[in-house]
Structure 1
Protein backbone atom coordinates (compact mmCIF):
# COMPACT_ATOMS: atom_id res chain seq x y z
CA UNK A 1 0.00 0.00 0.00
CA UNK A 2 1.22 3.50 -0.85
CA UNK A 3 2.68 5.13 2.28
CA UNK A 4 3.21 8.57 0.78
CA UNK A 5 1.27 11.70 1.63
CA UNK A 6 -2.02 12.09 -0.22
CA UNK A 7 -2.78 15.35 -2.02
CA UNK A 8 -6.19 16.53 -3.20
CA UNK A 9 -6.48 19.74 -5.20
CA UNK A 10 -9.84 21.49 -5.39
CA UNK A 11 -10.43 24.35 -7.83
CA UNK A 12 -13.49 26.59 -8.03
CA UNK A 13 -13.95 28.68 -11.19
CA UNK A 14 -16.96 30.94 -10.69
CA UNK A 15 -19.04 32.33 -13.53
CA UNK A 16 -17.91 35.88 -12.69
CA UNK A 17 -14.26 34.95 -13.30
CA UNK A 18 -13.30 34.45 -9.64
CA UNK A 19 -10.93 31.52 -9.06
CA UNK A 20 -10.34 29.78 -5.75
CA UNK A 21 -7.78 27.03 -5.15
CA UNK A 22 -7.39 24.71 -2.17
CA UNK A 23 -4.77 22.03 -1.50
CA UNK A 24 -5.59 19.26 0.95
CA UNK A 25 -2.71 17.13 2.23
CA UNK A 26 -3.32 13.92 4.16
CA UNK A 27 -0.67 11.80 5.84
CA UNK A 28 -0.50 8.02 5.17
CA UNK A 29 -2.90 7.45 8.09
CA UNK A 30 -5.44 9.69 6.29
CA UNK A 31 -5.22 12.54 8.80
CA UNK A 32 -5.21 16.14 7.64
CA UNK A 33 -1.80 17.82 7.66
CA UNK A 34 -2.61 21.30 8.96
CA UNK A 35 -0.92 24.35 7.49
CA UNK A 36 0.77 26.60 10.04
CA UNK A 37 -1.27 29.62 8.86
CA UNK A 38 -4.63 28.31 10.10
CA UNK A 39 -6.99 31.00 11.38
CA UNK A 40 -7.70 31.27 15.11
CA UNK A 41 -10.87 33.35 14.81
CA UNK A 42 -13.23 33.62 17.76
CA UNK A 43 -15.79 31.29 16.17
CA UNK A 44 -13.19 28.49 15.98
CA UNK A 45 -12.72 28.33 19.77
CA UNK A 46 -13.88 25.03 21.20
CA UNK A 47 -16.12 26.76 23.75
CA UNK A 48 -17.97 28.66 21.01
CA UNK A 49 -21.08 26.62 20.18
CA UNK A 50 -19.29 23.45 21.30
CA UNK A 51 -21.09 20.41 19.89
CA UNK A 52 -23.32 18.63 22.41
CA UNK A 53 -21.52 15.32 21.77
CA UNK A 54 -18.00 16.82 21.89
CA UNK A 55 -15.46 14.69 23.77
CA UNK A 56 -12.65 17.25 23.65
CA UNK A 57 -11.51 19.10 26.76
CA UNK A 58 -11.81 22.87 26.28
CA UNK A 59 -9.24 23.43 29.04
CA UNK A 60 -6.68 21.42 27.10
CA UNK A 61 -7.71 22.15 23.50
CA UNK A 62 -8.42 25.80 22.83
CA UNK A 63 -9.85 25.53 19.33
CA UNK A 64 -12.17 23.10 17.57
CA UNK A 65 -10.04 21.10 15.08
CA UNK A 66 -12.85 21.01 12.51
CA UNK A 67 -13.53 24.74 12.75
CA UNK A 68 -9.82 25.54 12.46
CA UNK A 69 -9.49 23.49 9.29
CA UNK A 70 -12.58 24.80 7.50
CA UNK A 71 -11.82 28.41 8.49
CA UNK A 72 -10.03 29.21 5.21
CA UNK A 73 -13.00 27.86 3.23
CA UNK A 74 -15.47 29.86 5.29
CA UNK A 75 -13.42 33.03 4.78
CA UNK A 76 -13.01 32.41 1.05
CA UNK A 77 -16.75 31.93 0.44
CA UNK A 78 -18.23 34.18 3.13
CA UNK A 79 -19.58 36.68 0.58
CA UNK A 80 -20.65 34.20 -2.11
CA UNK A 81 -24.17 32.90 -2.70
CA UNK A 82 -24.72 29.17 -2.55
CA UNK A 83 -26.49 28.95 -5.93
CA UNK A 84 -23.79 30.74 -7.97
CA UNK A 85 -22.68 28.69 -10.98
CA UNK A 86 -19.14 27.37 -11.06
CA UNK A 87 -16.85 24.69 -12.43
CA UNK A 88 -15.31 22.59 -9.69
CA UNK A 89 -12.39 20.25 -10.30
CA UNK A 90 -10.92 17.73 -7.88
CA UNK A 91 -7.44 16.46 -8.79
CA UNK A 92 -5.84 13.48 -7.07
CA UNK A 93 -2.93 11.25 -8.03
CA UNK A 94 -5.33 8.72 -9.51
CA UNK A 95 -7.76 10.91 -11.46
CA UNK A 96 -9.29 14.31 -12.19
CA UNK A 97 -13.01 14.93 -11.68
CA UNK A 98 -14.68 18.04 -13.10
CA UNK A 99 -18.28 19.13 -12.64
CA UNK A 100 -20.38 22.08 -13.76
CA UNK A 101 -22.37 22.75 -10.62
CA UNK A 102 -23.23 25.38 -8.02
CA UNK A 103 -20.99 26.58 -5.23
CA UNK A 104 -22.76 24.81 -2.36
CA UNK A 105 -22.33 21.38 -3.98
CA UNK A 106 -18.61 21.85 -4.52
CA UNK A 107 -18.20 23.23 -1.01
CA UNK A 108 -20.02 20.30 0.62
CA UNK A 109 -17.67 17.93 -1.19
CA UNK A 110 -14.47 19.59 0.01
CA UNK A 111 -15.86 20.34 3.48
CA UNK A 112 -16.78 16.69 3.92
CA UNK A 113 -13.24 15.47 3.42
CA UNK A 114 -11.68 18.20 5.59
CA UNK A 115 -14.12 17.63 8.45
CA UNK A 116 -13.62 13.84 8.38
CA UNK A 117 -9.82 14.13 8.61
CA UNK A 118 -9.49 16.98 11.11
CA UNK A 119 -9.12 14.90 14.26
CA UNK A 120 -12.67 15.22 15.60
CA UNK A 121 -13.34 12.02 17.62
CA UNK A 122 -16.96 11.92 16.47
CA UNK A 123 -16.17 12.29 12.76
CA UNK A 124 -13.21 9.89 12.85
CA UNK A 125 -15.54 7.07 11.80
CA UNK A 126 -15.67 8.75 8.37
CA UNK A 127 -11.89 9.17 8.01
CA UNK A 128 -11.19 5.90 6.08
CA UNK A 129 -13.43 7.15 3.27
CA UNK A 130 -11.09 10.10 2.71
CA UNK A 131 -8.38 7.90 1.18
CA UNK A 132 -10.86 6.91 -1.53
CA UNK A 133 -12.55 10.30 -1.81
CA UNK A 134 -15.45 10.46 -4.25
CA UNK A 135 -16.21 14.08 -5.18
CA UNK A 136 -19.82 15.13 -5.72
CA UNK A 137 -21.16 11.78 -4.49
CA UNK A 138 -24.90 11.18 -4.90
CA UNK A 139 -27.06 10.03 -1.99
CA UNK A 140 -27.00 6.42 -3.25
CA UNK A 141 -23.23 6.51 -3.70
CA UNK A 142 -22.77 7.96 -0.23
CA UNK A 143 -25.05 5.38 1.39
CA UNK A 144 -23.28 2.54 -0.39
CA UNK A 145 -19.84 3.78 0.67
CA UNK A 146 -20.77 4.62 4.26
CA UNK A 147 -22.37 1.26 4.99
CA UNK A 148 -19.65 -0.69 3.18
CA UNK A 149 -16.88 1.09 5.09
CA UNK A 150 -18.75 0.63 8.38
CA UNK A 151 -19.09 -3.13 7.80
CA UNK A 152 -15.42 -3.40 6.82
CA UNK A 153 -14.57 -1.65 10.09
CA UNK A 154 -16.56 -4.32 11.94
CA UNK A 155 -14.52 -7.02 10.24
CA UNK A 156 -11.30 -5.47 11.51
CA UNK A 157 -12.83 -5.03 14.99
CA UNK A 158 -13.62 -8.75 15.02
CA UNK A 159 -10.17 -9.81 13.81
CA UNK A 160 -8.68 -7.67 16.59
CA UNK A 161 -10.74 -9.53 19.18
CA UNK A 162 -13.55 -6.97 19.57
CA UNK A 163 -17.30 -7.31 19.22
CA UNK A 164 -18.43 -6.41 15.69
CA UNK A 165 -21.72 -4.76 14.75
CA UNK A 166 -22.62 -6.58 11.55
CA UNK A 167 -26.33 -5.95 12.14
CA UNK A 168 -25.82 -2.15 12.16
CA UNK A 169 -27.25 -1.84 15.66
CA UNK A 170 -24.87 0.97 16.66
CA UNK A 171 -24.55 2.89 13.41
CA UNK A 172 -27.58 5.12 14.10
CA UNK A 173 -26.04 6.27 17.37
CA UNK A 174 -22.86 7.30 15.53
CA UNK A 175 -24.84 9.21 12.94
CA UNK A 176 -26.92 11.04 15.52
CA UNK A 177 -23.65 12.36 16.90
CA UNK A 178 -22.46 13.30 13.41
CA UNK A 179 -25.69 15.30 13.04
CA UNK A 180 -24.82 17.13 16.24
CA UNK A 181 -21.37 18.01 14.88
CA UNK A 182 -22.89 19.32 11.65
CA UNK A 183 -25.35 21.43 13.64
CA UNK A 184 -22.51 22.74 15.80
CA UNK A 185 -20.50 23.73 12.72
CA UNK A 186 -23.57 25.40 11.22
CA UNK A 187 -24.03 27.47 14.37
CA UNK A 188 -20.39 28.55 14.23
CA UNK A 189 -20.51 29.49 10.55
CA UNK A 190 -23.62 31.61 11.04
CA UNK A 191 -21.41 34.06 12.92
CA UNK A 192 -18.54 33.92 10.43
CA UNK A 193 -20.14 34.04 6.96
CA UNK A 194 -22.24 36.85 5.51
CA UNK A 195 -23.96 34.90 2.73
CA UNK A 196 -25.14 31.30 2.55
CA UNK A 197 -22.68 29.19 0.51
CA UNK A 198 -20.78 27.84 3.53
CA UNK A 199 -23.93 27.34 5.56
CA UNK A 200 -25.74 25.44 2.80
CA UNK A 201 -22.71 23.19 2.28
CA UNK A 202 -23.07 22.04 5.90
CA UNK A 203 -26.83 21.66 5.45
CA UNK A 204 -26.21 19.26 2.55
CA UNK A 205 -23.86 17.17 4.70
CA UNK A 206 -26.41 17.15 7.51
CA UNK A 207 -29.20 16.01 5.19
CA UNK A 208 -27.14 12.93 4.38
CA UNK A 209 -26.55 12.29 8.09
CA UNK A 210 -30.33 12.44 8.62
CA UNK A 211 -31.12 10.11 5.71
CA UNK A 212 -28.88 7.24 6.82
CA UNK A 213 -30.80 6.32 10.02
CA UNK A 214 -34.04 6.30 8.03
CA UNK A 215 -32.45 3.99 5.47
CA UNK A 216 -31.28 1.67 8.27
CA UNK A 217 -34.85 1.56 9.63
CA UNK A 218 -35.96 0.50 6.15
CA UNK A 219 -33.34 -2.30 6.07
CA UNK A 220 -31.41 -0.43 3.37
CA UNK A 221 -34.08 -1.36 0.84
CA UNK A 222 -32.92 1.37 -1.54
CA UNK A 223 -29.61 -0.51 -1.94
CA UNK A 224 -31.06 -4.02 -2.13
CA UNK A 225 -31.79 -3.94 -5.90
CA UNK A 226 -28.05 -3.51 -6.59
CA UNK A 227 -27.49 -7.02 -5.18
CA UNK A 228 -30.62 -9.00 -6.01
CA UNK A 229 -32.16 -8.96 -9.45
CA UNK A 230 -35.94 -8.92 -9.50
CA UNK A 231 -36.86 -11.68 -11.92
CA UNK A 232 -39.91 -11.21 -14.10
CA UNK A 233 -42.35 -14.03 -13.32
CA UNK A 234 -43.00 -16.42 -16.22
CA UNK A 235 -46.46 -16.42 -17.79
CA UNK A 236 -48.53 -19.44 -16.75
Structure 2
Protein backbone atom coordinates (compact mmCIF):
# COMPACT_ATOMS: atom_id res chain seq x y z
CA UNK A 1 0.00 0.00 0.00
CA UNK A 2 1.21 3.52 -0.72
CA UNK A 3 0.51 6.56 1.46
CA UNK A 4 0.95 9.94 -0.21
CA UNK A 5 0.86 13.08 1.97
CA UNK A 6 0.19 16.40 0.20
CA UNK A 7 0.75 19.55 2.26
CA UNK A 8 -0.54 23.06 1.59
CA UNK A 9 3.03 24.36 1.12
CA UNK A 10 3.38 22.07 -1.90
CA UNK A 11 5.52 19.37 -0.30
CA UNK A 12 4.56 15.78 -1.16
CA UNK A 13 5.79 12.86 0.97
CA UNK A 14 5.28 9.16 0.24
CA UNK A 15 5.70 5.95 2.20
CA UNK A 16 5.03 2.36 1.09
CA UNK A 17 4.07 -0.56 3.32
CA UNK A 18 4.34 -4.13 2.02
CA UNK A 19 2.41 -6.71 4.12
CA UNK A 20 4.44 -9.51 2.55
CA UNK A 21 7.71 -8.52 4.15
CA UNK A 22 9.22 -6.65 7.04
CA UNK A 23 10.35 -3.09 6.29
CA UNK A 24 13.93 -2.86 5.06
CA UNK A 25 16.12 0.23 5.24
CA UNK A 26 19.49 0.84 3.62
CA UNK A 27 20.18 3.90 5.78
CA UNK A 28 21.84 3.60 9.20
CA UNK A 29 19.24 3.27 11.94
CA UNK A 30 19.15 6.13 14.49
CA UNK A 31 20.11 5.54 18.12
CA UNK A 32 16.50 5.73 19.33
CA UNK A 33 15.75 2.51 17.43
CA UNK A 34 18.23 0.45 19.47
CA UNK A 35 16.45 -2.34 21.31
CA UNK A 36 17.58 -1.20 24.76
CA UNK A 37 16.39 2.40 24.28
CA UNK A 38 13.05 2.62 26.16
CA UNK A 39 12.65 -1.11 25.57
CA UNK A 40 9.13 -2.41 26.20
CA UNK A 41 8.79 -4.04 29.60
CA UNK A 42 7.14 -7.06 27.94
CA UNK A 43 9.63 -7.33 25.05
CA UNK A 44 10.64 -10.97 24.42
CA UNK A 45 13.72 -9.95 22.42
CA UNK A 46 17.25 -9.80 23.86
CA UNK A 47 19.94 -7.25 23.01
CA UNK A 48 22.54 -9.97 22.43
CA UNK A 49 20.32 -11.35 19.65
CA UNK A 50 18.61 -8.26 18.19
CA UNK A 51 20.29 -4.88 17.83
CA UNK A 52 17.28 -2.77 16.89
CA UNK A 53 13.62 -2.74 17.93
CA UNK A 54 11.71 -3.94 14.82
CA UNK A 55 8.83 -1.50 15.34
CA UNK A 56 11.10 1.49 16.01
CA UNK A 57 13.29 0.70 13.02
CA UNK A 58 10.22 0.51 10.79
CA UNK A 59 9.14 3.95 12.04
CA UNK A 60 12.49 5.62 11.33
CA UNK A 61 11.50 6.43 7.75
CA UNK A 62 8.13 8.05 8.53
CA UNK A 63 9.60 10.02 11.46
CA UNK A 64 12.29 11.39 9.15
CA UNK A 65 9.57 12.34 6.64
CA UNK A 66 7.17 14.31 8.82
CA UNK A 67 8.58 14.30 12.35
CA UNK A 68 9.24 18.04 12.06
CA UNK A 69 5.60 19.01 11.44
CA UNK A 70 3.01 19.80 14.14
CA UNK A 71 0.14 17.39 14.85
CA UNK A 72 -2.66 19.58 13.57
CA UNK A 73 -1.06 20.40 10.22
CA UNK A 74 -3.73 19.89 7.58
CA UNK A 75 -2.80 17.32 4.96
CA UNK A 76 -4.46 15.57 2.06
CA UNK A 77 -3.73 11.85 2.26
CA UNK A 78 -4.05 9.49 -0.69
CA UNK A 79 -3.91 5.77 0.11
CA UNK A 80 -3.61 3.32 -2.76
CA UNK A 81 -4.07 -0.37 -2.06
CA UNK A 82 -5.85 -3.36 -3.62
CA UNK A 83 -6.84 -1.48 -6.80
CA UNK A 84 -8.58 1.27 -4.88
CA UNK A 85 -7.70 4.80 -3.85
CA UNK A 86 -8.91 6.54 -0.70
CA UNK A 87 -8.40 10.30 -0.40
CA UNK A 88 -9.04 12.24 2.78
CA UNK A 89 -8.14 15.67 4.09
CA UNK A 90 -7.38 15.45 7.78
CA UNK A 91 -4.83 16.36 10.45
CA UNK A 92 -1.31 14.98 10.20
CA UNK A 93 -1.68 13.15 13.54
CA UNK A 94 -4.72 11.21 12.26
CA UNK A 95 -2.99 10.46 8.97
CA UNK A 96 0.11 9.35 10.84
CA UNK A 97 -2.00 7.12 13.09
CA UNK A 98 -3.40 5.28 10.08
CA UNK A 99 0.04 4.79 8.57
CA UNK A 100 1.60 3.73 11.87
CA UNK A 101 -1.09 1.09 12.27
CA UNK A 102 -0.16 -0.47 8.93
CA UNK A 103 3.56 -0.26 9.73
CA UNK A 104 3.14 -1.81 13.16
CA UNK A 105 1.23 -4.78 11.81
CA UNK A 106 4.03 -5.64 9.36
CA UNK A 107 7.17 -4.62 11.28
CA UNK A 108 8.08 -8.00 12.77
CA UNK A 109 7.48 -7.13 16.43
CA UNK A 110 6.32 -10.32 18.21
CA UNK A 111 3.52 -8.40 19.93
CA UNK A 112 2.07 -6.97 16.69
CA UNK A 113 2.19 -10.12 14.57
CA UNK A 114 -1.46 -10.92 15.34
CA UNK A 115 -2.34 -7.73 13.44
CA UNK A 116 -0.65 -8.74 10.17
CA UNK A 117 -3.87 -10.10 8.58
CA UNK A 118 -5.44 -6.69 9.21
CA UNK A 119 -2.66 -5.11 7.14
CA UNK A 120 -3.58 -7.37 4.23
CA UNK A 121 -7.10 -5.94 4.44
CA UNK A 122 -6.10 -2.47 5.54
CA UNK A 123 -8.82 0.07 6.23
CA UNK A 124 -7.35 3.59 6.44
CA UNK A 125 -8.77 5.94 9.07
CA UNK A 126 -10.80 3.23 10.86
CA UNK A 127 -13.05 4.35 13.69
CA UNK A 128 -13.76 2.41 16.91
CA UNK A 129 -16.55 0.25 15.49
CA UNK A 130 -14.67 -0.60 12.30
CA UNK A 131 -11.58 -1.53 14.28
CA UNK A 132 -13.59 -3.74 16.64
CA UNK A 133 -15.33 -5.48 13.75
CA UNK A 134 -12.12 -6.14 11.84
CA UNK A 135 -10.16 -7.25 14.90
CA UNK A 136 -12.79 -9.71 16.11
CA UNK A 137 -13.63 -11.02 12.64
CA UNK A 138 -10.03 -11.67 11.71
CA UNK A 139 -9.23 -13.24 15.08
CA UNK A 140 -12.19 -15.62 14.88
CA UNK A 141 -11.32 -16.54 11.31
CA UNK A 142 -7.81 -17.29 12.53
CA UNK A 143 -9.27 -19.59 15.19
CA UNK A 144 -11.36 -21.35 12.54
CA UNK A 145 -8.23 -21.94 10.46
CA UNK A 146 -6.45 -23.30 13.55
CA UNK A 147 -9.34 -25.68 14.20
CA UNK A 148 -9.16 -26.96 10.62
CA UNK A 149 -5.52 -27.84 11.30
CA UNK A 150 -6.48 -29.67 14.50
CA UNK A 151 -4.92 -26.95 16.65
CA UNK A 152 -6.48 -25.48 19.78
CA UNK A 153 -8.89 -22.63 19.10
CA UNK A 154 -9.98 -19.72 21.32
CA UNK A 155 -13.64 -18.83 20.74
CA UNK A 156 -13.92 -16.75 23.93
CA UNK A 157 -11.64 -13.95 22.59
CA UNK A 158 -9.49 -14.08 25.72
CA UNK A 159 -6.40 -14.41 23.54
CA UNK A 160 -7.37 -11.31 21.58
CA UNK A 161 -7.85 -9.34 24.78
CA UNK A 162 -4.43 -10.44 26.02
CA UNK A 163 -2.82 -9.52 22.70
CA UNK A 164 -4.26 -6.00 22.79
CA UNK A 165 -3.13 -5.49 26.38
CA UNK A 166 0.42 -6.39 25.34
CA UNK A 167 0.07 -4.05 22.37
CA UNK A 168 -0.78 -1.13 24.63
CA UNK A 169 2.49 -1.63 26.53
CA UNK A 170 4.31 -1.54 23.19
CA UNK A 171 2.50 1.65 22.17
CA UNK A 172 3.45 3.46 25.38
CA UNK A 173 7.12 2.52 25.07
CA UNK A 174 7.20 3.54 21.42
CA UNK A 175 5.73 6.91 22.33
CA UNK A 176 8.74 7.48 24.60
CA UNK A 177 11.07 6.60 21.72
CA UNK A 178 9.28 8.97 19.37
CA UNK A 179 9.43 11.84 21.86
CA UNK A 180 13.21 11.48 21.70
CA UNK A 181 13.24 11.16 17.92
CA UNK A 182 10.91 13.82 16.52
CA UNK A 183 11.14 17.61 16.66
CA UNK A 184 7.35 17.92 16.56
CA UNK A 185 4.53 15.85 18.03
CA UNK A 186 2.73 14.49 14.95
CA UNK A 187 4.32 11.05 15.19
CA UNK A 188 3.81 10.78 18.94
CA UNK A 189 0.20 11.92 18.78
CA UNK A 190 -0.44 9.58 15.86
CA UNK A 191 0.72 6.72 18.06
CA UNK A 192 -1.41 8.01 20.95
CA UNK A 193 -4.47 7.97 18.68
CA UNK A 194 -3.60 4.43 17.62
CA UNK A 195 -3.33 3.44 21.28
CA UNK A 196 -6.75 4.94 21.97
CA UNK A 197 -8.18 2.59 19.34
CA UNK A 198 -6.47 -0.32 21.10
CA UNK A 199 -7.88 0.83 24.43
CA UNK A 200 -11.38 1.12 22.98
CA UNK A 201 -11.11 -2.36 21.47
CA UNK A 202 -10.06 -3.85 24.82
CA UNK A 203 -12.96 -2.13 26.58
CA UNK A 204 -15.45 -3.43 24.02
CA UNK A 205 -14.08 -6.97 24.31
CA UNK A 206 -14.21 -6.93 28.11
CA UNK A 207 -17.54 -5.14 28.51
CA UNK A 208 -19.41 -5.55 25.25
CA UNK A 209 -22.46 -3.27 25.25
CA UNK A 210 -23.90 -4.24 21.89
CA UNK A 211 -21.86 -1.81 19.78
CA UNK A 212 -22.26 -4.00 16.69
CA UNK A 213 -25.66 -5.59 17.39
CA UNK A 214 -27.56 -3.37 14.95
CA UNK A 215 -25.44 -4.66 12.09
CA UNK A 216 -26.08 -8.32 12.91
CA UNK A 217 -29.83 -8.50 13.55
CA UNK A 218 -30.10 -11.15 10.83
CA UNK A 219 -27.94 -13.41 12.97
CA UNK A 220 -29.48 -12.65 16.35
CA UNK A 221 -33.21 -12.49 15.57
CA UNK A 222 -35.34 -15.65 15.31
Task: State the Cα distance separating 1:220 from its structure 2 match.
Answer: 5.3
Q: Residue 107 of structure 1 aligns with which residue?
A: 96
* Residue number in structure 1 paired with 2:26: 36
Deviation at 1:48, TM superposition (A): 0.5
| DSSP 3-state at the match of 1:13 | strand
- Mark the structure with the bigger radius of gyration: 1
Aligned equivalents of 2:211, 2:19: Cα separation in 1: 33
Alignment correspondent of 2:11: 18
1:97-134 deviation per Cα after TM superposition (whole angstroms, max 9, x unaligned): 10011111111111111111011111000001111111
Deviation at 1:225, TM superposition (A): 1.4
Per-residue CA deviations over 1:75-95 (Å, capped at 9, x if unaligned) read 222210111111000112420
- Find the counterpart in structure 2 of residue 4 from structure 1: none
- Cα distance in 2, alignment partners of residues 137 and 218 from structure 1: 21
* Whole-angstrom distance in 1 between the partners of 2:68 and 2:158: 42
Query: Whole-Å Cα distance in 2 between the matches of residues 132 and 183 of structure 1?
Result: 25
Aligned residues: 218
Deviation of the 1:170 alpha carbon: 2.3
Distance in 2, matches of 1:40 and 1:142, equals 31
Q: Which has the higher helix share?
A: 2
Structure 1 spans left out of the alignment, 5+ residues: 1-7, 230-236
Distance 1:175 1:24 in 2: 22
Alignment TM-score, normalising by the size of structure 2 = 0.93
Q: CA RMSD in A?
A: 1.4
Matches within 5 A, 1:113-124: 113-124=102-113
Residue 15 of structure 1 contacts residue 84 of structure 1 at CA under 8 Å; is this kept in 2?
A: no
**In structure 1, what is the Cα distance between the partners aligned to 2:211 and 2:82?**
32
> What is aligned with 1:156?
145
